[in-house]
């Protein structure tokens, strides 16, 4: 049986490759983005309680109504934007699914989507599997800012969407108010849709304000904005997220959603609807994770790596061109095998493997894990 692949250039993701290597060599895994510390016990108890109370059957296709109500309340308090919970929010099995569904909802063969590289690894395959063309624009190295003049030059009548991601994975860069102004000017009087990946919404540091699309009702009217409960509550394995859009666009989004997963995990939604009332759990997240970033930075000063500052997410990037000519994938594999620490080569986030000799480290770990990892890197040569 022969299958004509829809993704002929795609193999196993770098995350799977590096995590498998980490297991094989008993390495400390600072590659894949997941915490190694426990999530809140109160939230676990709420899930158990929901199951015991019988919340184990299908929930509403669009998500538990009470959870969506409370998400709408949260949006209004954080971003001063009123959202209709019934028509504008859909709960999804993870942020990556939310992104895929948004792309599938609108893309037609021949459409173009502007993507900034380095990019989260699902973006380009998701575009291509829908028959559209990714238009690749490299963020300016080393601060990974958006070259807006290049964006303007590449917009044409086939441009259907611009994808943005802040805080950014893999670099930790964040958008500022000028970025929003530039984006608004580009999409004005066009049919261009915005897809805003905001799964690290609360993991933002240094007293920087998160420039969520939800702050800007005029942009939200043409946007799909995607979020992750897993990143907010240290439970990435739950694979629960949600998407917010205009009522008109969400109506089309749900047409795709209903025939893909139909509905999401019920007891977890019941638990989250209660736990989300604990505002401190997400409002304190930025400072909590920043302490881990700062702790990791101090440790890394004892290694030959050079910092590329992160202002959000689970990640920070470090360059090494000043002490090695190895390509980043080769170095990442060598670190795993010889030094017992797994990282991610940033070239993996470029379609054509652009190598700036940068590795990405996940610092969302226990202090002991970070200390153990960096102790190994001190001896790097």
Contacts 24+ apart (CB under 8 A), 275-278: 275/40, 275/42, 275/43, 275/46, 275/233, 276/67, 276/70, 276/71, 276/74, 277/70, 278/42
Q: Which of 34-38, 100-104, 137-141, 200-204 has the lowest mean pLDDT?
A: 34-38
CA angle 129, 132, 137 (to 5 degrees): 110
The pLDDT of residue 17 is 86
Share of the chain above pLDDT 90, in %: 93
Give the integer Cα–Cα distance in Å for 330 and 17: 13
Tokens of 133: 């063309």
Which domains does the chain carry?
14-39+283-377 (3.90.1150.10), 55-277 (3.40.640.10)
* Tens digit of each residue's pLDDT (9 = 90 or more) over 301-320: 999 999 999 999 999 999 99
Residue 12 neighbours by CB distance under 10 Å: 8
The pLDDT of residue 307: 98
DSSP-assigned letters across all residues of 261-304: T-S--HHHHHHHHHHTT-THHHHTHHHHHHHHHHHHHHHHTTSS
Q: What percentage of residues in the chain have a pLDDT greater than 70?
A: 100
Per-residue pLDDT band for 380 (boundaries 50, 70, 90) equals confident
Give the pairing type, strands 193-197 and 159-165.
parallel
Residues 244-271 pLDDT 10s: 999 999 999 999 999 999 999 999 999 9
CA 303, CA 341: separation in Å to the nearest integer? 13
The dihedral sign for the CA sequence 228, 229, 234, 237:
negative
pTM of the shown model: 0.96
End-to-end CA distance of the chain: 49
Asked whether residue 379 carries a pLDDT value surpassing 90, the answer given is: no
pLDDT, tens digit, 9 for 90 and up, residues 324-350: 999 999 999 999 999 999 999 999 999
Q: What ranges make up the beta strands (E) of 148-213?
A: 159-165, 193-197
Closest CA to 291 of 37, 15, 28, 27: 37
Q: Is 80 exceeded by the pLDDT of residue 381?
A: no
Looking only at the bridges linking them, the beta strands covering 341-342 and 315-319 are: unpaired
User: In the prediction, which pLDDT does 237 show?
Assistant: 95
pLDDT over 90 at 225, yes or no = yes
């Amino acid at each position: 049986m022969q299958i004509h692949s829809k993704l002929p250039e795609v193999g196993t993701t770098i995350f799977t490759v590096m995590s498998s290597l980490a297991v094989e060599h008993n390495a400390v895994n600072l590659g894949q983005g997941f915490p190694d510390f426990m999530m809140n016990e109160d939230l676990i108890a709420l899930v158990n309680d929901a199951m015991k109370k019988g919340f184990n059957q299908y929930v509403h296709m669009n998500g538990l109504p009470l959870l969506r109500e409370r998400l709408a309340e949260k949006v209004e308090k954080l971003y001063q934007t009123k959202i209709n919970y019934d028509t504008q929010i859909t709960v999804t099995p993870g942020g990556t699914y939310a992104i895929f569904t948004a792309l599938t909802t609108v893309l037609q063969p021949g459409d173009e989507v502007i993507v900034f590289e380095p990019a989260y690894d699902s973006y380009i395959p998701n575009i291509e599997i829908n028959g559209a063309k990714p238009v690749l624009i490299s963020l300016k190295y080393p601060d990974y800012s958006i070259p807006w003049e290049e964006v303007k030059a590449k917009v044409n009548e086939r441009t259907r969407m611009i994808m943005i991601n802040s805080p950014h994975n893999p670099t930790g860069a964040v958008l500022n108010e000028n970025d929003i102004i530039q984006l608004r000017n580009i999409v004005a009087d066009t049919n261009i849709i915005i897809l805003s990946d905001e799964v690290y919404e609360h993991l933002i540091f240094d007293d920087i304000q998160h420039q969520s699309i939800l702050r800007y009702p005029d942009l939200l009217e043409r946007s799909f904005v995607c979020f992750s409960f897993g990143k907010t509550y240290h439970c990435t394995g739950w694979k629960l997220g949600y998407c917010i859009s205009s009522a008109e666009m969400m109506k089309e989004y749900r047409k795709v959603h209903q025939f893909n997963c139909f509905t999401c995990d019920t007891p977890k939604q019941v638990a989250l609807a209660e736990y989300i009332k604990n505002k401190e759990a997400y409002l304190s997240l930025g400072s909590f994770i920043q302490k881990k970033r700062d702790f990791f930075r101090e440790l890394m000063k004892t290694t030959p790596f050079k910092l590329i500052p992160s202002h959000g997410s689970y990640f920070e990037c470090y360059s090494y061109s000043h002490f090695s000519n190895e390509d980043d994938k080769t170095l990442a594999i060598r670190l795993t095998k010889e030094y017992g620490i797994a990282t991610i080569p940033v070239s993996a986030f470029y379609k054509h493997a652009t190598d700036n000799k940068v590795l990405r480290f996940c610092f969302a770990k226990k202090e002991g894990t970070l200390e153990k990892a960096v102790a190994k890197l001190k001896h790097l040569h």
